[in-house]
């Protein structure tokens, strides 16, 4: 499962919101599929730019993620690096594209069910559920004592000359 972060949670929710508000969606297009829409949110690239960059590699996002080389500066690897910098693993990328992570599916509103990878409403529900799971994990790791201590005013250091 992905490493929870506020940036990733916000990106998943913004992607779901964009799709709910009619963002272009076509599962067979690298620029407007599940991962393509997520990359649009995280990079501010257009669907056309993402499509062009994705075509510097071979295959769907799943294959591209499996072949990812972090030291390569090919455009598609820069896109994948952005997703991995958010905290996603190649398995997460695959699962976002195919809506297959069992943990996410188990936490869907109404309980477990299989979703369709190319159905907009299913993608929206999957992304929002994934964001909720990551948010819950992030909240569990917050140490309130550390937050309280870090928010306390520090004593001013007196410098004598």
Contact 5, 86 (CB under 8 A): yes
d(CA 64, CA 69): 9
Contact 97, 32 (CB under 8 A): no
More confident of the two residues 126 and 73: 126
- 38, pLDDT greater than 90: yes
Q: 145 in helix, strand or coil? A: helix
Quick one: pLDDT band at residue 45, thresholds 50, 70, 90?
confident
**Mean pLDDT over residues 109-129, rounded?**
97
Beta-carbon neighbour count of residue 142 at 10 Å? 8
Quick one: pLDDT band at residue 75, thresholds 50, 70, 90?
low
Query: Residue 12, Cα to own-chain centre: how many angstroms?
Result: 5
d(CA 121, CA 106): 17
d(CA 34, CA 82): 15
**Mean pLDDT over residues 102-130, rounded?**
97
**Mean pLDDT over residues 33-40, rounded?**
92
Supply the pLDDT for residue 51.
Answer: 78
């Amino acid at each position: 499962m992905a490493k929870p972060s506020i940036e990733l949670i916000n990106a998943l929710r913004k992607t779901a919101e964009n799709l709910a508000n009619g963002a272009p969606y076509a599962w067979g297009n690298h620029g407007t599929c599940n991962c393509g829409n997520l990359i649009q949110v995280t990079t501010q690239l257009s669907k056309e730019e993402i499509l062009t960059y994705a075509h510097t590699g071979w295959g769907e996002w799943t294959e591209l993620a499996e072949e990812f080389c972090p030291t390569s500066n090919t455009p598609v690897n820069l896109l994948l690096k952005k997703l991995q910098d958010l905290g996603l693993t190649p398995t997460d990328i695959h699962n976002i594209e195919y809506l297959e992570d069992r943990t996410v599916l188990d936490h869907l509103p109404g309980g477990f069910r299989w979703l369709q990878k190319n159905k907009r409403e299913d993608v929206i529900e999957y992304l929002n559920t994934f964001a909720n799971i990551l948010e819950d994990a992030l909240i569990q790791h917050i140490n309130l004592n550390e937050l309280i201590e870090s928010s306390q005013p520090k004593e001013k250091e007196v410098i004598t000359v």
